[in-house]
Amino acid sequence: MLAARLIADQGIHVEGINFYTGFCVEGHTHAIRNQHRAKPKRNNALWVAERLNIKLHIIDVIEQYKDVVINPKHGYGANMNPCLGCKSFMVGKARQWMEQNGFDFIITGEVIGQRPKSQRRDTMPVVARESGAFDRLLRPLCARLLPPTLPEREGWVNREKLLRMNGRSRKPQMALAKQFGFRDYAQPAGGCCFLTDKRYSHKLADLWQSRGEKRYDLDDIMLLKVGRHLRPRANFKLIVGRDDGENNFLHGYRRQYVHMFPTSHKGPLVLVNGTADASDLQLAARLTARFSQGKEDEEVTVAVCNTEGGQQLVAVRPMSPAEIPGDWYL
């Protein structure tokens, strides 16, 4: 946002590109959950574009991004985040877009030293090289600490008006945002990507382990964002809705997964992910009962439904907390 404004202020036409990988955190991904419904449900990229009065192109890179996550060229960060490879990929995509749409150079909001792995002085040239953008990649917030790029050398951009930010502190950005009059300016550190989230990464690692290979599709990674995930046995896991919003979302998957819900009490919709035999389903039904309002009762009736719409009612004793080992929770 700040980088775009700095460049637009030099009278240069700027348009925004936002890549959707499937792992992006949006304020309203959480809107599925009832408790988050009151929060503003805005897409940050659209919000920023509107504030800056620029066009924004949201590009679906879900398919191509799989290789970035599955085979990270530079490894992972603290969690499953392949940040350096991801940046090269995104700048590479931006370069293609630039070439196809007659633009001259690319800007990013990177700052030297902001991130320990992916935004260091020595990784900046890696992104420029691997993306194929080379010296058409300009980082306005720290450009004066880096060698001049093509737009600076050609005089398209006045280097003197660019900045020399560096280090982890976000105070300089906040100060600049204030100077530009951006209220409500929020770019949480690493807060826009589920791959930096420890819990999410753990669930993704579990998914790959259970499959015996690193593979995912969009539904897989969407479902990792929703509900409580429990793996009682290696061959299946349960996704348990935590409120009506999540239950409704999970309900959309009823034709793809065996699922269950209590009929004698209020309670969650639960998807069974994997191959479960009769004893697995019995266990799953007892867990479903555990998360229902009948958890303290002797018996709860649970409807076990197949993907064709067939339904069977089973009466089960809810599991007690002592019967649920902590490591079942993913």
Partner 1 sequence: MSRHELDARRLLCPLPVIRVQEKVKTLERGDTLDVLCSDPGALNDIPAWCRINGHKLIDTRSEGHHITITIEVG
| Ranges within 52-111 binding partner 1 (CB under 8 A) | 54-60
Rounded distance between C-alpha atoms, residue 140 and residue 250, angstroms: 43
| Ranges within 85-144 binding ligand SF4 (CB under 6 A) | 86-87
Binding residues for partner 1, how many (CB under 8 A)?
29
Span from 21-29, 97-105, 133-141, 203-211 in contact with partner 1 (CB under 8 A): 21-29
- Indicate the DSSP class of residue 131: T
| Ranges within 260-299 binding partner 1 (CB under 8 A) | none
Span from 24-32, 82-90, 102-110, 279-287 in contact with partner 1 (CB under 8 A): 24-32
Among ligand SF4, partner 1, none, the one that 81 touches (CB under a kind-dependent 5 to 8 A) is: ligand SF4
Q: Where are the beta strands (DSSP E) in 61-162?
A: 106-107, 137-138
The answer to whether the beta carbons of residues 108 and 114 sit under 8 Å apart is no
Contact letters for ligand SF4, residues 157-176 (x by CB under 6 A): --------------------
Which residue type sits at 115? R
At closest approach, how far in Å is the CB of 196 from ligand SF4? 5
Nearer to ligand SF4, 82 or 268 (CB): 82
Rounded distance between C-alpha atoms, residue 288 and residue 118, angstroms: 42
Nearer to ligand SF4, 86 or 207 (CB): 86
Span from 98-106, 193-201, 203-211, 318-326 in contact with ligand SF4 (CB under 6 A): 193-201
Asked if 81 interacts with ligand SF4 (CB under 6 A), we say yes
Asked if 204 interacts with ligand SF4 (CB under 6 A), we say no
Using CB under 8 A, pick the residue from 26, 130, 206, 243 that binds partner 1: 26
Which tokens belong to 105?
């150079």
Nearer to partner 1, 168 or 255 (CB): 255
Residues with Cβ within 8 Å of 264's Cβ and at least 6 positions away in sequence, in order, are: 294, 299, 300, 301
Among ligand SF4, partner 1, none, the one that 242 touches (CB under a kind-dependent 5 to 8 A) is: none
Q: Burial code of 22-51, b = ≥16 C-beta within 10 A, e = fewer? A: bbbbeeeebebbeeeeeeeeebbbebbbeb
3-class SS string, 256-314: CCEEEEECCCCCCCEEEEECCCHHHHHHHHHHHHHCCCCCCCCCEEEEEECCCCCEEEE
Span from 29-37, 141-149, 176-184, 276-284 in contact with partner 1 (CB under 8 A): 29-37
For residue 327, CA distances in Å to 42, 274, 279, 324 come to 35, 18, 20, 8
Q: Where are the beta strands (DSSP E) in 108-208?
A: 137-138
Residues that bind ligand SF4 (CB under 6 A): 81-83, 86-87, 190, 193, 195-196
